[in-house]
Chains A and B, each alone.
Chain A
C-alpha cells in the first residue's frame, strides 16, 4: 500500500523478486557457488574421512581404494569432491586477499571473481587429468 494524495491506494507497480529472472553480476555467482560448495563439502568430508580410515586400516583396505578408483562412478565422485574443494579454496583465497584490502571495489570484485572462475576451471581440469 502506498499513499497517493490524500488517499491510501494499492501500489500497483510491479514487484519482481523472482531471482531466476534477475540478471546477477558475476560476483553473486562467485559468492553463491562458494556457499553451495561449502555445504557440499560438509557432506563430502564424510566420504574423505571414510577413505582415510579405509586407506590406513590395512594393506587390503589401501588396495581396495585403488580398485574402487578404477570404476567410472567412483572417479566421478572423487572428481566432484576435488572440484568442490578446489573452488571453495580458490574462492576462499579471494576472500582472504580482499580482507587484506585488495580489490574491494566493485571492479575489483568482478576481476577477482573472473580470476577465481578461471583458476578453478584450470585446476579442476588438471584434477580430472590426474584422476583419469
Chain B
C-alpha cells in the first residue's frame, strides 16, 4: 500500500467514488458544450454566455472535477507502470517527479481557468 501515499483521498474507495462523481460532472459539461457549439454561436453570444453566473459556476465545477479526475487517473496509470517492480528503485523517484509535474500542470490549469472565467 506504499503507493497510496500519493493518491487523492488516501483511500481507494474514496478515489473510486470521486472519480465517478467527477466523471458525471464532466460528461454533463462537455455534453452541454457540444450542444452549444453544434448549434452554432458568434462572439457576442459566446461572450454573453460565459458572462452568466450559472455558466461560470458550471465551468468552475467542471474545472475542479477535471483537476480531481485527472489526478486520480494519472495516479492510477503511474502507480501501475512507473513502479519499483518494473523499474527498480528509480521507479519510485521517477513516479514522484512525474506526479509533481502533473500537480503543477493541474494547478496551472485551475488558476488559468479561473482567470478566464472571472478575470
Spell out A's residues near B (CB within 8 Å): 35, 38-39, 41-42, 45-46, 49, 52-53, 55-56, 59, 62-63, 85, 89, 92-93, 95-96, 99, 130
Q: Known: A56-B46, A96-B23. Is A89-B30 also a contact (CB below 8 A)?
A: yes
Can you list 28 pairs linking A and B with CB atoms under 8 Å apart?
A35-B76, A35-B77, A38-B74, A39-B73, A39-B74, A42-B74, A42-B102, A45-B66, A45-B109, A46-B105, A49-B109, A49-B112, A49-B113, A49-B116, A52-B116, A53-B112, A56-B47, A62-B42, A62-B43, A89-B30, A92-B23, A93-B27, A95-B20, A95-B23, A96-B20, A96-B24, A99-B20, A130-B38
- Classify the secondary structure of A's interface with B: helix
Question: Is A56 a contact partner of B50 (Cβ separation < 8 A)?
Answer: yes
- Inter-chain CA distance A52–B23, complex, in Å, is 21
For B46, give its contact among A41, A55, A96, A99 (CB under 8 Å): A55
- Interchain Cβ contacts within 8 Å, total number: 54
**B18 interfacial contact with A, CB 8 Å:** no
B70 touches A42 (CB 8 A): yes
- Chain B residues contacting A55 (CB-CB under 8 Å) are 43, 46
- B38 CB, min distance to chain A CBs, angstroms: 7
Taking CB as reference atom, which chain A residue is nearest B77?
Answer: A35
User: Which of B20, B24, B42, B73 is packed against the most chain A CB atoms within 10 Å?
Assistant: B73
